[in-house]
Amino acid sequence: MSLFEKHQGAIERAIQANRERVFYAHYPENPKAYGEEAPAAGLHAFQVSMNTDFSELLQQQPIRFEGEEVSPYLQTGLGIRYPVFADKIVVMRAKEAMKQWRKVDVQTRAGILVESLERMKNRFFEIAHATQHTTGQSFMMSFQASGPHAADRALEAIAMGYEELTRFPQEVVWDKPMGKFNIQLRKTWRAVPKGVSLVIGCSTFPTWNTVPGMYASLITGNTVIVKPHPKAVLPIAIVIAELQKVLAENGIDPNTCQLAVDSSKFPIAKEFVAHPDVKLIDYTGNSVFGNWLEAQQILGKEVFTEKAGVNPVVIESVNDLKAVADNLAFSLSLYAGQMCTAPQNFFIPAGGIQTAEGHKSYDEVVAALTAAIEGIASHPKMAPGVLAALQNDQTADRIKQVAGMGKKVLVGSHAFANEEFAEARTASPLLLEVDASDKATYEKELFGPIGIVIKTKDAAEGLQLATELVAAHGAISCGVYSTDATFCEQAADAFAEVFVPVSFNLTGPIYLNQHAAFSDFHVTGGNAAGNASFADPNFINRRFVWVGQRYA
């Protein structure tokens, strides 16, 4: 049985889920689904990897080994060193491997790629510990985001790519009646990959944000170089190691997908970008570098970005104020706001809002939000589990800088204790209050657990300001709370025009931060927060070109 035959059912179900946009998860997010022995085995595998050289990659002749990952929980280095290669050698090997990979049929490619996800599945717990101790995510978020959710996003891209590559026939006989005779041509088409693909990873979600572009390029016949953030290498290194093993087992050059590690002092991303054979670039990170990358498109590069946005919440009216406040507080607190989908700006009318329990003043709305935030931050069990740890010192410094801006502080940020990890770098949310006229404070992204309450004349002004900010600076997520169907429709129209998805009236266990594979298009690609969306057909089709041949 071929790998395609082995995984054909999974591929077809993923294609169906992509089309229907209903809930689907090929990889369960419940850790118990992976067996009783998996947690202990994963922890042991992570522990023995510390203070060693990572030797699983099938990439030959490194020039040295180095690594600089530091656990946000332990405040000590992991001691893991990775093989380092000259950028020109990595590109040369990718170009050479592409001669073989581009000629592999799409069924074989799809089977190999899904098999690599099945191998990844066997290491979900190890990847979870690797993610926790490089990003600062809680263990449960690390398990779900870097394990099953990331694998589902990869499968989503494989399925989308498979469908696009099989949309048209490979060969037909073209028969045109001409009266007394017919003209016949044999026509064939090839989906030709564009070239070497570079995927630049981020420090906060090293697999979830990396695998969509990685697998989208691979399924379309491109070879891939993954340049992870030097502070978060291990999670994606494990994934690439498993993929390389599957490639080699099937007679494919493992350099079809390579890991290219650099350091904070000597970054190499720009060298890869400048190389003429690098044709595709996927990037997650800050807007400054993302904007520079997008400018490279004039040089013939295809660039896919997810950058920073200013995510707004507009409150017009609610049914249950406490439920709304609890939901928003959790969204702001989750992973200490270190998510691209976390809310930042909360637009609240000065005259208050209507609720099912009657009118609530502006002060009462703000008090409900602050109480909910403080409730999470002060809870000895909830704070470590929800807020987790800060990935780097820059985020901690940013909290202090914003707190010292002279604005009204509604909720002060403070460190909290983590019973399991006494040295964890922690910070609870900082919540400021400003007037609507103080745009300089809230018009830019303040990455981390930082929220701003903005007092507006009314909900209409809040909606106007929020859409203006998205139009100017971009957003990846947006929340609107209103019991007025007319206002909701106005908000849907306004935000659609600036290309940002809206979540209406979220309460309970679904949050603004969460985007589901096979259903939600993550980043629309239509505003300044990013120029691509995974996974829609455009995310796939820009990676290859249909080329036809006609034979008389």
Q: Calculate helix-pair angle for 106-121, 211-219, nearest 10 degrees.
A: 150
DSSP 530: B
Provide mean pLDDT across the span 94-117.
98
Question: How far apart are the C-alpha atoms of 70 and 229, rounded to whole Å?
Answer: 12
- In the chain, the amino acid numbered 211 is V
- Read off the amino acid at residue 539: F
Domain boundaries, the chain: 3-308, 312-504
Q: How far apart are CA 114 and CA 150, in angstroms?
A: 13
**386-403: average pLDDT:** 96
Q: What topology is assigned to 3-308 in CATH?
A: Aldehyde Dehydrogenase; Chain A, domain 1 (3.40.605)
Architecture of domain 312-504: 3-Layer(aba) Sandwich (3.40)
pTM: predicted TM-score of the whole model, two decimal places:
0.96
Q: What is the mean pLDDT of residues 427-446?
A: 96
What is the identity of the amino acid at 136?
Answer: G
Three-state DSSP state, 464: helix
CA distance 295 to 283: 13
Q: Which residue has the tokens 């209103």?
A: 482
d(CA 137, CA 390): 8
State the amino acid at position 104 in one-letter form: V
pLDDT of residue 160: 98
Q: Encode pLDDT of 168-201 as tens digits.
A: 999 999 999 999 999 999 999 999 999 999 999 9
CA distance 156 to 539: 11
Give the pLDDT confidence score for residue 344 in this predicted structure: 97
Q: Which two tokens stand for residue 93?
A: 């090997």
Residue 91 burial (10 A CB sphere; 0-12, 13-18, 19+): buried
pLDDT computed for residue 500 by the predictor: 96
Q: Nearest-CA neighbor of 221 among 266, 265, 161, 263?
A: 161
Interval 513-526: pLDDT, tens: 999 999 999 999 99
- Residues sharing a CB contact under 8 Å with residue 428, sequence separation 6 or more, in sequence order: 333, 336, 373, 376, 377, 383, 387, 411, 413, 414, 415, 416, 449
